[in-house]
């Protein structure tokens, strides 16, 4: 085969229309061999003679898209000093844009013989390995434009490619569980109906299915086990795994963008699928182990593990950092994604030992003209010392706010002494973000996510039920801050079912009307259950997939209606924190932008906040106090709102505040369903807020004809499921 010198940049396999350039970084290598494979598995080896700055490279004019390839790296093999080269192991290109096949966990994949970790295994691993695929980078984006939805207008929907689509009756069978399935018009229509602006996909980088799970008849469903940071996971492709998955992924992004929906990827740059010192040699370990991984300083045979997965990427090494930054840029520029959610992001801040928000990785992101301009969401914790870093990430980052989740769960299950923190969380968590010049949108608010109970299970189980995972129910979080509403699991008690339905509405309404960015876990709006399993990482089955045939249609309609209210009123999506200062606009008494109210309609005092038995709260939101301008430079104003939260087991009578707040009020949300078609409520009158319920009132505009439709539809939906199906378990 004709071999040209080629270039050291870009890394990976790059097809230019005439041939393909190959480039691989390895500082430790003595030699590097490029291996090309035909459809029958026959291997052709090309030894790379060109090397610049530790990058080995060549250009092959004959190589076209679809070509499968890998590398063999010869060099030192002394694990005690952190080197694990072995030319008998075929290695996946860290920059592979597509991957063909899967590994079969044969012993040949390992650098040692089973039972003797100090031995050396020289079996050829190629027959058992996945391989890189040269891709065609050209794609007709057909004028694709990124939605660029501002954070304060965003509603995120966390979803799993397979779980979202595998059972969808409108998606053709061959497209279920794939990128094409996510792009199906019926799936997109559902997202649009809910008012979703961004879909956050659980890991779609090429990942490895764990052998320990396969031995149990399970699989790595969640996908937090990455091996290829540039390649869309091949199993999620309806068009095959020979490079077509890239085109299919791009088509999905294009379709979602056309619908006004952004695509955010859940990415795992903190570790790889090669595991600890007993793991297989698949890629990084055999290419340049010490460059890519954090090793134990006084014994480099072992790996630093801040993730609980066996290893941690070495973000202190410039080439490892380059890999991460090149990957991020690739997904933005070539795949057109709109942002990233970083799994265990605190690990990326461990340049030396402690978590440091000023580490090199964050400095690189800050100055990068591409990556710094997309949505950056941190899961702000890892399992290492000092790993819980909620509120401590740099200014352009947002964070999964675990404190929001815990506080809202505690409030609605009736825990004492929660009012103060609950108030802080639903108004944007200023205590976490304001001091660092961040805004309410720094808080990604969520009640449930992939890790833990679904919303339905949160109100149906006190205890986890993870027996299906094969770990004797020892896995998963034991302290879920859940409440089963009086019966553990399925029941036909109509009172329990009614309460569970109301609690789900409480959580969703609270989430969508809190300041910050709401995130809904897929299927929560449909009443999805995992039968009490709060750790379905290994459950690639109907236990985890959305069952579209048994969805809770009233709950879906309720969710869509509340989200419409949020979208129509900037009061619920402020760009700045409340400051409590009076606002005067036109005639009338100046009122603060926010007032916390007691049950008698007067502002709360410090003593009111400290009452441990109190489980109800009222708040006035001043629509004149937004203090901002729209894109046209016009001052933003809105209607005034009252929100009442009652987590007591009994109804609470509240006095609507004096007429200076508003003379009359319309009930627009009542999660208990008691105010359908209610007449406007006058100031200084009493309103009964049902047990475990939430009510939202909007100032009545005299000059406009009162429209009962929103209130009536929400209230009617609130009680419908228990009334229609009193004998079914939710």
pLDDT (0 to 100) of residue 242: 87
Q: Indicate the burial class of 521 (C-beta count within 10 angstroms; 0-12, 13-18, 19 or more).
A: buried
Mean pLDDT of 300-316: 93
The Cα-based distances of 363 to 354, 397, 529 in angstroms read 16, 12, 41
The Cα-based distances of 461 to 190, 464, 528, 583 in angstroms read 28, 7, 14, 45
Average pLDDT, the chain: 93
Residues whose CB falls within 8 Å of the CB of residue 95, separated by 6 or more in sequence, listed in order: 10, 11, 12, 13, 23, 24, 230, 323, 326
Give which of 327, 201, 177, 194 is closest to 253, Cα–Cα: 201
Q: Write the pLDDT tens digit of every residue in 600-611.
A: 999 999 999 988
Q: Are 173 and 167 in contact (CB under 8 A)?
A: no
pLDDT (0 to 100) of residue 725: 39
Task: Return d(Cα 289, Cα 26) in angstroms, integer.
Answer: 9
Q: Write the pLDDT tens digit of every residue in 680-728.
A: 999 999 999 999 999 999 999 865 544 444 554 555 555 554 444 333 3
Pinpoint the alpha helices (H) of 208-243: 211-215
What is the value of pTM for the model shown? 0.96
Which of 262-276, 483-497, 646-660, 700-714 is least confident?
Answer: 700-714
pLDDT (0 to 100) of residue 636: 87
pLDDT (0 to 100) of residue 706: 47
- The residue whose two tokens read 């955010």 is 264
Q: Write the pLDDT tens digit of every residue in 368-381.
A: 999 999 999 999 98
Per-residue pLDDT band at 357 (split at 50, 70, 90): low
Mean pLDDT of 196-207: 98
pLDDT of 353 > 70? The answer is no
pLDDT of 55 > 90? The answer is yes
pLDDT (0 to 100) of residue 37: 98
The alpha carbon of residue 15 and the mean position of all alpha carbons in its chain are separated, in whole angstroms, by: 32
Q: Is the peptide bond before 10 cis (omega within 30 degrees of 0)?
A: yes
Secondary structure letter of residue 697 according to DSSP: E
**Active-site residue identified among 266, 379, 599, 638:** 379
Q: Are 141 and 250 in contact (CB under 8 A)?
A: yes
pLDDT of 579 > 50? The answer is yes
pLDDT (0 to 100) of residue 726: 34
Give which of 449, 453, 447 is closest to 476, Cα–Cα: 453
Strand, coil or helix: 251: helix
687 vs 348, residue with greater confidence? 687
Which of 66-80, 102-116, 322-336, 354-368 is least confident?
Answer: 354-368
Per-residue pLDDT band at 447 (split at 50, 70, 90): very high
Q: Indicate the burial class of 113 (C-beta count within 10 angstroms; 0-12, 13-18, 19 or more).
A: middle
Q: Write the pLDDT tens digit of every residue in 241-283.
A: 889 999 999 999 999 999 999 999 999 999 999 999 999 999 9
**DSSP states of 509-521:** HHHHHSSSEEEEE
Q: Is 379 a catalytic residue?
A: yes
pLDDT (0 to 100) of residue 708: 47
Strands 262-267 and 31-37, bridge-based pairing = unpaired
Q: Write the pLDDT tens digit of every residue in 394-442.
A: 889 999 999 999 999 999 999 998 999 999 999 999 999 999 899 999 9
Strand, coil or helix: 199: strand
Per-residue pLDDT band at 627 (split at 50, 70, 90): confident
| % of the chain residues with pLDDT over 70 | 94
The alpha carbon of residue 199 and the mean position of all alpha carbons in its chain are separated, in whole angstroms, by: 9
**Active-site residue identified among 248, 305, 343, 399:** 343
Secondary structure letter of residue 147 according to DSSP: -
Per-residue pLDDT band at 356 (split at 50, 70, 90): low
Buried b or exposed e, range 13-32, using 16+ CB within 10 angstroms: bbbeeebbbbbbbbebbebb
Which of 44-48, 96-100, 710-714 is least confident?
Answer: 710-714
pLDDT (0 to 100) of residue 585: 64
Q: Are 544 and 221 in contact (CB under 8 A)?
A: yes
pLDDT (0 to 100) of residue 316: 86
Which of 67-71, 138-142, 471-475, 701-705 is least confident?
Answer: 701-705
Give which of 458, 424, 528 is closest to 163, Cα–Cα: 528
pLDDT (0 to 100) of residue 715: 54
Q: Is 343 a catalytic residue?
A: yes
């Amino acid at each position: 085969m004709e071999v040209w010198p080629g270039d050291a940049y870009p890394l990976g396999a790059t097809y230019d229309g005439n041939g393909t350039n190959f480039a691989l970084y390895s500082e430790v290598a003595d030699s590097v061999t490029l291996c090309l494979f035909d459809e029958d598995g026959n291997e052709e080896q090309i030894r790379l003679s060109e090397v610049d700055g530790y990058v080995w490279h060549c250009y092959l004019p004959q190589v076209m898209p679809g070509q499968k390839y890998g590398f063999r790296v010869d060099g030192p093999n002394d694990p005690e000093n952190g080197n694990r080269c072995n030319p008998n192991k075929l290695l996946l290109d860290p920059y592979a844009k597509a991957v063909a096949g899967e590994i079969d966990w044969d012993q040949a994949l390992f650098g040692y013989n089973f039972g003797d970790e100090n031995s050396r295994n020289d079996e050829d691993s190629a027959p058992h390995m996945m391989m890189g695929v040269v891709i065609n980078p050209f794609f007709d984006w057909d004028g694709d434009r990124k939605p660029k939805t501002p954070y304060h207008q965003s509603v995120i929907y966390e979803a799993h490619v397979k779980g979202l689509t595998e059972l969808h009756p409108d998606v053709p069978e061959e497209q279920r569980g794939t990128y094409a399935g996510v792009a199906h018009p019926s799936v997109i229509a559902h997202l649009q109906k809910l008012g979703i602006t961004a879909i956050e996909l659980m890991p779609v980088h090429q990942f490895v299915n764990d052998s320990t799970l396969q031995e149990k008849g399970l699989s790595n469903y969640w996908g937090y086990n990455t091996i290829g940071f540039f390649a869309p996971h091949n199993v999620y492709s309806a068009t095959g795994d020979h490079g077509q998955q890239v085109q299919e992924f791009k088509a999905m992004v294009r379709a979602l963008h056309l619908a006004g929906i952004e695509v955010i990827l859940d990415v795992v740059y903190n570790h790889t699928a090669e595991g600890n010192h007993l793991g297989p040699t698949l890629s990084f370990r055999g290419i340049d182990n010490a460059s890519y991984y954090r090793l134990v300083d006084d014994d480099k045979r072992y790996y630093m593990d801040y993730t609980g997965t066996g290893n941690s990427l070495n973000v202190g090494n410039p080439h490892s950092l380059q890999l991460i930054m090149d990957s991020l840029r690739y997904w933005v520029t070539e795949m057109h994604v709109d942002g990233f959610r970083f799994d265990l992001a605190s690990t990326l801040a461990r340049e030396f030992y402690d978590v440091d928000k000023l580490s090199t990785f964050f400095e690189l992101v800050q100055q990068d003209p591409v990556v710094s301009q997309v949505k950056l969401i941190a899961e702000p914790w890892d399992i290492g010392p000092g790993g819980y870093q909620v509120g401590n990430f740099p200014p352009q980052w947002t964070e999964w706010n675990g404190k929001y989740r815990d506080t809202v769960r505690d409030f609605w299950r009736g825990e004492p002494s929660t009012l103060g923190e609950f108030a802080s969380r639903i108004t944007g968590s200023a205590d976490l973000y304001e001091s660092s010049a961040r805004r309410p949108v720094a808080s990604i608010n969520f009640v449930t996510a992939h890790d833990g109970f679904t919303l339905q299970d949160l109100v149906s189980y006190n205890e986890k039920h993870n027996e299906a995972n094969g770990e004797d129910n020892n896995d998963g979080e034991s302290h879920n801050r859940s409440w089963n509403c009086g019966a553990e699991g399925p029941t036909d008690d109509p009172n329990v079912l009614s309460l569970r339905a109301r609690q789900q509405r409480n959580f969703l309404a609270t989430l969508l009307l809190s300041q910050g960015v709401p995130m809904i876990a897929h299927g929560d709006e449909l009443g999805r259950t995992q039968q009490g399993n709060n750790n379905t990482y290994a459950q690639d089955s109907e236990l985890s997939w959305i069952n579209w045939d048994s969805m809770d249609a009233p709950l879906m309609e309720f969710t869509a209606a509340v989200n419409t209210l949020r979208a129509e009123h900037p009061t619920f999506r402020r760009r700045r924190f409340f400051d409590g200062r009076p606002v005067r606009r036109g005639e009338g008494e100046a009122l603060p932008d926010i007032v916390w109210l007691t049950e008698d309609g007067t502002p709360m005092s410090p003593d009111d906040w400290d009452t441990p038995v109190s489980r109800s709260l009222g708040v006035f939101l001043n629509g004149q106090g937004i203090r901002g301008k729209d894109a046209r430079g016009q001052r933003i104003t809105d209607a005034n709102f009252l929100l009442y939260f009652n987590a007591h087991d009994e109804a609470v009578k509240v006095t609507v505040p004096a007429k200076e707040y508003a003379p009359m009020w319309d009930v627009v949300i009542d999660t208990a369903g008691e105010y359908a078609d209610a007449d406007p409520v006058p100031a200084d009158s009493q309103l009964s807020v049902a047990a475990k319920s939430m009510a939202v009132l909007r100032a009545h505009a005299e000059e406009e004809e009162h429209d009962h439709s929103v209130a009536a539809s929400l209230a009617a939906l609130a009680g419908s499921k228990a009334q229609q199906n009193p004998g079914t378990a939710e």
